[in-house]
Structure 1
Amino acid sequence: MMHSFAQTNLQLLHQLQQEPYTAGDRQLVAHGYDLAVSLFAGRFRPAGKTFIAHLVGTASILLTIGASVEVSVAGLLHAAYSEGDFWDGQWRPITTKRQQRVRHAVGDSVEHYIARYTQLDWGREAIATLSTQVDTLSALDRDVLLIRLANELEEYLDYGILYDGAHLRQDYAAAAPYIAPLATALGYPRLAQECDRIMQLVGKSGHILAEAHTEAVLMVEGQGEPAKLPWQTAKQLSYALRYLITRAFAVY
C-alpha cells in the first residue's frame, strides 16, 4: 500500500522543510523526537513495527492535514505516558515527575495534550458516544480526538492491524465505522477521505474486519485460538513488570 506519510525522523524533518514551518517549529519537533527515542528505544507495536515509526507516522499525518505543530508533536508523543519507558520505578502512567520531564522537553501545551490523550476513553461505547457529541467538545478535546484519529489511520497504513492478533483487530473493527465520520465532524475532510480509502483497502470491502468479528465470536464460544488477556490487563501487567525491573536495578 502506497502512502506519503513519514515513517522516519529524516522523512519527518524533510516534510517540515517542504511546508511553511519556522526554525522554532522544527526545533520543537526535534525535541519531541529525541524524547520519543529515549522512551521507546527497542519498543515495538504488536505487529512487529517499531514504535518510533508508528509515532513518526502519526505526527506526519497530523502535519499533512494542517494540525498545529504543538498538536503534531503531541501526536509524536501520544503514547508517552501509556507505553513509554521512563524507568522510574512507577507503574502509574502519569506522575508529576514524568510530566515535568515531558514539559521540559516540549513545553506545557504539548504535555497537556498528551496527558489528555492518555485519559481519553476509547472503548466501544465511548466511541459511539463521542460520535454524537463532537460539537460539544472543547477545543482541547477536539484536538485530542484528532490525534486519536491520526493514530487509528496510522495503524492501518501498512496493514498493521492484520498482524496485531484477534483481540486488537476486534477493537479496530469496532472503531472503524466511526473514524471517517468523526474526522468529518471535526472539520478534516481530507483525513476522512484517507481513512475511508485505507480502511477499504485493508478491509477488502469489509471482509477482513468481518472475519475478525467472527474470530471473536468463536473465542467467546470456546472455539478457535485460546482467549488472551484483556488488553487493559496486559498493559497493567506490563507496567508492573517495568516497576519490578526498575526497582531491582535501583541504586539506593
Structure 2
Amino acid sequence: MTAQDLFVPRQTNTALYIQLHDAGHPVEDILRVQRAYGVACAMFNGRYRKTGRPFICHAVGAASSVAHFDKDLDLVVAAMFHAAYDSAQYPDGKSSRRSETHRKWLEQKLGPRVEGLVARVGAMKFDTGDPERLAAQGVPAGDEDILFLVLAHDIDDMADGGLAFAPKYGRSIESRVAACAILARRIGRESLAATIEAYGSRYAALGWAAALEDSRLEGFRIAPNVRNYLKLRRDKLRGARVEVL
C-alpha cells in the first residue's frame, strides 16, 4: 500500500459528512450523524488527548475509520462514542460510568443498538498486550463486531503519529501492530489489516517524537463548569495523572 493509497481519517464533522456522502450514504444517514455529533460535542467538551489533540477530533476520526471500512451506520456512530463510558460528561455531572441513568440517556440519544455497542466496546480490554493476547487465545464468538470497532479505532490513533508522541502502549508498537493485523484478517478485514500494517511501518522513523512527550498526562480537560473543575482538582489531589488548567 503506497502513501497515496493510505486512508487518512477525517478529523472534522463536515469532512466526515462529505466522506459519508461520497460513500453513498443518503442525506438521512448524514443527518443522523450530525445529530450524534452535537451530542458528542457536549459530552466531550473541553477534553483533550495526551498529545494535545481535541478529543472530539479523535471521536470523529474513529467514526471516519469505521465508515471507511464498513457502511453500517450504527457502527459508525458507536465509534464516535467509544469513550462514552470512560471519558464523557453526562448532564448529571457525575462520572461517566455506565449507570442505569446514563444508559437510558445515551440510549434515548443514540438508539438501543448503538448504546449496546458502546457498552461492549468499553468492556473489551484492548490496552497494552491485549491484542497479542487475543491473537494467541482467540476472540470470543460474537465479539467480531466489537473487535472491528477497536481495530478501526486504532487506525485513528496511528494515523497522526499519536502512538509515537504519546506512546500509551510502550515505545515499540511492533508486536501490537502485528497482532492487530492478525486479528483483522481473522474477522475477514484484509483492507483494515493492510492499513494497520502500513501505518505501523511508519513508526520506526518517529523515534524523535519522544522528545515532545509530556509524561505527566494521561489526558487533560478544560473543565466546562465549576462543579467539574472541583471534581478534577479532587482527582488530582488523590494522585490521578490529570492536568487541571
Q: Does 1:157 align with 2:159?
A: yes
Given that 1:91 and 1:242 are in contact with CA atoms closer than 8 Å, whether structure 2 keeps it comes out as no
Aligned pair in 2 of structure 1 residues 156, 32: CA closer, same or farther (>3 Å)? same
Q: Answer yes or no: is the 8 Å Cα contact 1:181–1:192 preserved in 2.
A: yes
Aligned AA for 1:101?
W
Does the residue aligned with 1:25 lie in a helix, a strand or coil?
helix
Partner residue in 2 for 1:19: 23
- Measured against aligned partners, the alpha-carbon deviations of 1:132-175 in whole angstroms (never above 9, x if no partner) come to 4546420xx211111111111111111112221x5x14187263
Shift of 1:91: 2.8
Pick aligned residue for 1:117 from 114, 121, 125: 121
Corresponding residue of 2:179: 178
Whichever residue aligns with residue 153 of structure 1, its letter is: I
Letter in 1 for 2:67: L
1:92-171 alignment, distance < 5 Å: 93-134=97-138, 136-138=140-142, 141-164=143-166, 168-170=168-170
The whole-number CA distance in structure 2 between the counterparts of 1:121 and 1:10 is 31
| Contact 2:84/2:96, CA 8 A, preserved across alignment | no
Deviations 1:63-103 (A, max 9, x none): 11124110111001111110111252433511111112211
**Structure 1 residue 127: deviation in Å?**
2.7
The aligned residue for residue 220 of structure 1 is: none
Change (3 A) 1:134 1:243: farther
- Cα separation, partners in 2 of 1:119 and 1:177, compared to 1, 3 Å: same
Q: Deviations for 1:28-69, whole angstroms, at most 9, x for unmatched residues?
A: 212221111011122111001111111111111111112411
> Going by fraction, where is helix more abundant, 1 or 2?
1
SS at match of 1:44: strand
The 8 Å contact of residues 47 and 160 in structure 1, kept in 2 or not, is answered as yes
Q: Deviations over 1:175-219 (max 9, x none)?
A: 333111111111111111111111111233xx849x98xxxxxxx
Identity of aligned residues (%): 25
TM-score (norm 2): 0.78
Contact 1:134 1:186 in 2 (8 A): no
Output the CA distance in 2 between the equivalents of 1:34 and 1:93: 21
| Number of the residue aligned with 2:40 | 36
Aligned AA (1:13): Y
Corresponding residue pairs, total = 222
Alignment of 1:27-106 (within 5 A): 27-91=31-95, 93-106=97-110
Instruction: Give structure 1 stretches of 5+ with no counterpart.
Output: 213-224
SS at match of 1:80: coil
Q: 1:89–1:244: 8 Å Cα contact kept in structure 2?
A: no
Which of the numbers 218, 223, 231 marks the counterpart of 1:245?
A: 231
Aligned partner of 1:188 in structure 2 is: 189
Distance 1:107 1:17 in 2: 22
Alpha-carbon distance in structure 2 between the residues aligned to 1:172 and 1:43: 27
Alignment RMSD: 3.3
Q: Which runs of 5+ in 2 are unaligned?
A: 235-245
- Summarize the Cα distance change of 1:102–1:137 in structure 2 as closer, same or farther, 3 Å threshold: same
Q: Retained in 2: the 8 A contact 1:28–1:106?
A: no
The 3 A distance-change label for structure 1 pair 194 and 52 is: same
Q: TM-score, normalised by structure 1?
A: 0.76
Using a 3 Å threshold, how does the CA distance of structure 1 residues 103 and 172 change in structure 2: closer, same or farther?
A: farther
